[in-house]
A = this chain, B = another copy of it.
Amino acid sequence: MSERTETRKPRSNSRARGAKKRDVEVLDAAARVFARRGYADASVQDVADELGILKGSLYHYIKMKEDLLFWLLEAVHKDVEEILEEVAGAESLSPLERLELYVRRQVLYNLDNLERISIYYHDVDSLSEERLTTILARRRTHERFITGLIKEAQDRGEADSSCDARILANCLFATIIWTYRWYKPNGRISRHAIADHCARFVLHGVVGELDAA
């Protein structure tokens, strides 16, 4: 009995690892197909072709095409929440320094995940109402955290408090998100230089005119 348990446990661990690896492969293939063909035009058959498996095999993982979109967007939020945890945990940094860290990390993440970010902003509205609500709730938590950092900086007199923190947060997100529309991989400017420029642009924009504060 104990022997059976022992032999079963490693097998089930390696099965879990195999399943996780396959999940990643499926989501990567879906991201490539949705980015190339557009989510609306892409089919489950296209994703199966990209994976080199039969459509029937793909239906072991999913019930419908929308599952792939939802899991992709959930995966983006999971990654981004790790960035937010790092920023929240950097207790020795001032609010402005945390914002700077956040912008750098988030820009680099977006540049490294252009397909997923482009699907996120192009196709999030294709989700069913319930799933869209789930995604938007995670986005709101994210937005509240960043708006809170801006307010903290304003309260400490380190940023112009005559500006509305929520509008500033929208301008900050704009700078970060829009990179997916203009960034050219292998262009003349490195990913780190772009993250640096965006962080400086945002920081000066958030700090604003301190005399007016």
Q: A189: which B residues are within 8 A, CB to CB?
A: 164, 167
Given A40-B38, A175-B174, decide whether A200 and B163 contact each other with a Cβ distance below 8 A: yes
Q: How far is the CB of A198 from chain B (nearest CB, A)?
A: 6
Q: How far is the CB of A172 from chain B (nearest CB, A)?
A: 8
Q: How far is the CB of A184 from chain B (nearest CB, A)?
A: 11
Q: A206: which B residues are within 8 A, CB to CB?
A: 201
A3 at the interface (CB under 8 A from B): no
Q: How far is the CB of A30 from chain B (nearest CB, A)?
A: 19
Contact between A201 and B38, CB atoms less than 8 A apart: no
Q: How far is the CB of A63 from chain B (nearest CB, A)?
A: 23
27 contacts between A and B (CB under 8 A): A40-B40, A40-B41, A164-B189, A164-B193, A164-B197, A167-B189, A167-B198, A168-B197, A170-B182, A171-B178, A171-B198, A173-B182, A174-B178, A175-B175, A175-B205, A178-B178, A200-B205, A200-B208, A200-B209, A201-B205, A201-B206, A202-B205, A204-B204, A204-B205, A204-B208, A204-B209, A205-B205
Binding site for B on A (CB under 8 A): 38, 40-41, 121-122, 163-164, 167-168, 170-171, 173-175, 177-179, 181-182, 189, 193-194, 197-198, 200-202, 204-209
